[in-house]
Amino acid sequence: MWSFLKKDILVLFRDKTELAVLLLMPLVLTSILGFALGGVMSGSTEGISSSVAFVQKGQTEQDVKRFKEEVKQLPIPDEAKAQISEAVDSFQPVNVITDVFNSDEFNEMFQIKSMNETDALSALSNEEVSAILIVPEDFTYEALRKMVLEQGEGSELIVQTGDHSSFSASIFEDVIEIIINQLNLGSAIAKETGEEGVVPSFENDSSELGDVQSVTDKKPMSPLQYYTFAMGVMFALYVGSTMAHKGYVENFQNVFNRIILSGKHPMMYLSGKGISTMLLVFIQLVILFTISVLVLRSFMMDDIIEWAGIALITFVYAISIGSVGALLTSITMRANSSSITGVFSGGIVSILAFLGGSFVPKTQLPEFISVLGGWTPNGLALTSYLQWSQGLGFDFILPSLIKLLIFTIIILSISLMIFPRKRVV
């Protein structure tokens, strides 16, 4: 098997045109997009500094009072009623949001402007704010009923972004989503542990209570960092078509026949193609990330755990592209034509790259496209890279990695079925 790998690596590394496409192009595009879009989606907290409108439609005090009145009517012991009342005084859902808004780190990224809904909508359309957070009427009352009494449907925070909304709006949405997760999880943990209430904090690490994510863990991402990953996952796809095309040439020039005549099983050849593709994708991404770090200064090299995670994602992604390489090789060999590799590299890669967020972040795409992109191998890998680099833990990236492995198994099975084993005696 090593002979096949060595041969494929040597053949590819001596093809200067292919090397330029696979290594130079992504670096050039990363630099162009990363620096050109720096103003639009700056990753430094200083760079984002965008304004967000905060609209609170209800009255928290009235909601709390109304909730306490309801508790008084409950057929439970007075002692329990007193405990609930005390807990509600110390924990109100909306305070979690305002606590976050008052934190220094949040203020480095966002400037909160309290206003009424009409003004907020006007500000959004005038691009004065990049998003609006609306706390609806009865939010506190409904949230407390749901969280404490498990009654009603609960309530929802509304985040509204405009057509012009940029990367910063996406980050803001993420922040709010995490706050909501904290609220829900904090409530659940409180019930589980029997505590009066757990207030998830923006600044305190609450991991001791369970798997609660702190918003501060989600580091902002610069365009350079984003496009390092985005271009990497996109150009890794080209390795699949390149390897399949080499397979076509091997078949066309009878080299494949020569391999078969040596007594090697055709499946050995296909496995060689898959593993070579995997190895080359891994090498390609390692080179790209290393140059991005050393030359473009896109990342710091100070956290070994962070790089171990990136290596893991790269490895899983390389396996999945290995299966793509095997599938394209199978189709090419069966059809005895190189047109499929042309179609793949000339069109399908661009479509996958668009869906997967290599050109613009998925959050800025229409929802159905974003959902579709979430099922592409490059989309899954990009999401994993971004989540991991933003400090979200292994639990966040695990679902994407599992999906990538499932994708790999399916694609490999199809390529095994397609590969023309019976062409030879």
Nearest CA to 321 out of 197, 411, 421 is that of 411
Nearer to other proteins among residue 82 and residue 261 (C-beta)? 261
- Is 251 or 408 the residue whose CB approaches other proteins more closely? 251
Contact 192, 205 (CB under 8 A): no
Contact pick of 21, 29, 180, 260 for other proteins (by CB under 8 A): 260
Residue 301 touches other proteins, criterion: CB under 8 A: no
Q: Which is nearer to other proteins, 153 or 422 (CB)?
A: 422
Cα dihedral sign, 247-251-252-253: positive
Residue 240 CB-half CA count within 13 A = 33
Least distance between other proteins and beta carbon 279 (Å): 16
Among 53, 94, 259, 412, binds other proteins (CB under 8 A): 259
238, 24 contact by CB (below 8 A): no
Q: Does 421 bind other proteins (CB under 8 A)?
A: no
How far, CA to CA in Å, does 250 sit from each of 245, 257, 329, 341? Answer: 9, 8, 11, 14
Residue 17 interacting with other proteins (CB under 8 A): no
Q: Of 95-103, 237-245, 261-269, 312-320, which segment contacts other proteins by CB under 8 A?
A: 261-269
CB 93 within 8 A of CB 200: no
The single residue among 193, 257, 290, 339 that binds other proteins, judged by CB under 8 A, is 257
User: 168 or 241: whose CB is closer to other proteins?
Assistant: 241
Closer by beta carbon to other proteins, 260 or else 348: 260
Window 42 to 61, contacts with other proteins (CB under 8 A): none
How many CB atoms are located within 10 Å of the residue 35 CB? 13
> Residue 49: how many CA atoms within 13 Å on its side-chain side?
4
Task: Tell me how far apart the alpha carbons of residues 370 and 356 are, in angstroms, rounded to a whole number.
Answer: 8
Residue from the set 99, 264, 293, 414 that interacts with other proteins by CB under 8 A: 264
# residues near other proteins by CB under 8 A: 23
- What is the 8-class DSSP label of residue 209? G
Residues near other proteins, by CB under 8 A: 3-4, 6-7, 10-11, 14-15, 252-255, 257-264, 422, 424-425
